[in-house]
């Protein structure tokens, strides 16, 4: 039986994959950095590896410690790949991000990558690292470019912040009047995609998104129309105006053709 290893113990996605995937171990990237031999028990097994290790989401814009940022974002990945060289790796999945596309309205897997910040640039670097390693060692791999994930134990997404702002009567900070359009995908749909991807060969890159965009302004208007009023404070900053997934491969190859509706989710969470 193939052993599934999920890297990144504090990750919302990791924990939800762990709950749904059989014969699975969840490993802390911090513990790997302290002693890579924590992986010894898996070295002689046939394994799948899912990489969810990266700088914590709530610290993506914090570069107070450059060494720590690089360690979390790419060094751990390199250490694991080196450790498992010449072993039985059945499949690798690397969790990437839609941010690698940059200012691209409808993102296709074949589009050029145009990262606009450090976070996105390091995601691209990880993608290239995985691609090079797997190609040289004849390992099947999939780079999963996730769009704006929400749900689960999320405390980072703007969706979670909307819910928290309402439940705690706090002010919600929005950027550029909430006009930017994003592709919001629920964590359950992401987990379902990953479980299916583990069984698919030759799918090197796939977008994990619904293919539909929503602006925060429209979401807040929807809530207002349902008697859910949230106080907001607007700030102006540079951001992508639109980012939605071309999800043809996700629908046709991974066979994910229905998604959690963001409005339905908010109705449930806010008891509308």
Neighbours of 230 (CB within 10 A): 19
Other CB atoms within a 10 A radius of the CB of residue 83 amount to 16
Task: Tell me the domains of the chain and their CATH numbers.
Answer: 3-149+185-208 (3.40.50.720), 154-182+211-244+260-269 (3.90.25.10)
Q: What is the pLDDT of residue 72?
A: 80
d(CA 33, CA 29): 6
CA 158 from centroid of its chain's CA atoms: 14
Nearest residue to 269 via CA among 119, 177, 166, 140: 166
pLDDT > 70: what percent of the chain? Answer: 96
Instruction: Check residue 66 and give its pLDDT.
Output: 78
Instruction: Give the per-residue pLDDT at 71.
Output: 79
pTM of the model: 0.94
Residue 88 is predicted with a pLDDT of: 94
Q: Please report which confidence band the pLDDT of residue 43 belongs to, taking 50, 70 and 90 as the band edges.
A: very high
Task: State percent of the chain over pLDDT 90.
Answer: 83
Q: Residue 65 has what pLDDT?
A: 63
At residue 64, the pLDDT reads 65
Q: Which helix (H) or strand (E) covers residue 205, if one does?
A: strand 205-208
pLDDT digits (tens, 9 = 90+) for 47-80: 999 999 976 655 556 566 678 888 788 999 999 9
Separation between Cα atoms, residue 230 and residue 259, nearest integer Å:
26
Q: pLDDT tens for residues 90-127?
A: 999 999 999 999 988 889 999 999 998 888 999 999 99
Nearest by Cα to 51 from 96, 3, 94: 94
Render pLDDT for 122-171 as a digit per residue (tens, 0 to 9): 999 999 999 999 999 999 999 999 999 999 999 889 999 999 999 999 99
Mean pLDDT, the chain, rounded, equals 93
């Amino acid at each position: 039986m193939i052993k599934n290893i999920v890297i990144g113990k504090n990750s919302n996605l990791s924990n939800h994959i762990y709950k749904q995937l059989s014969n699975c171990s969840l490993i802390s990237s911090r513990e790997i950095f302290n002693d890579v031999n924590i992986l010894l028990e898996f070295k002689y097994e046939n394994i799948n590896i899912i990489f969810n290790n990266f700088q914590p989401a709530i610290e993506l814009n914090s570069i107070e410690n450059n060494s720590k940022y690089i360690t979390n974002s790419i060094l751990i990945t390199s250490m694991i790949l080196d450790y498992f060289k010449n072993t039985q790796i059945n499949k690798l999945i690397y969790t990437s991000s839609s941010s690698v596309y940059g200012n691209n309205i409808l993102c296709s897997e074949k589009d050029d990558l145009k990262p606009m910040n450090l976070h996105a640039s390091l995601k691209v670097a990880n993608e290239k690292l995985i691609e090079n390693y797997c190609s040289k060692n004849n390992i099947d791999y999939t780079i999963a470019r996730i769009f704006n994930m929400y749900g689960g134990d999320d405390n980072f997404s703007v969706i979670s912040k909307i819910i928290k702002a309402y439940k705690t009567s706090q002010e919600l900070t929005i950027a550029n009047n909430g006009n930017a359009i994003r592709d919001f995908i629920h964590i359950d749909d992401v987990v379902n995609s990953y479980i299916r991807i583990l069984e698919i060969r030759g799918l090197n890159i796939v977008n994990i998104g619904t293919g539909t965009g929503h602006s925060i302004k429209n979401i807040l208007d929807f809530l207002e129309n349902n008697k859910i009023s949230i106080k907001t404070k607007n700030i102006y900053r540079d951001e992508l105006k639109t980012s939605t997934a071309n999800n043809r491969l996700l629908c046709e190859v991974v066979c994910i053709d229905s998604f959690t509706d963001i409005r339905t989710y908010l109705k449930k969470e806010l008891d509308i």
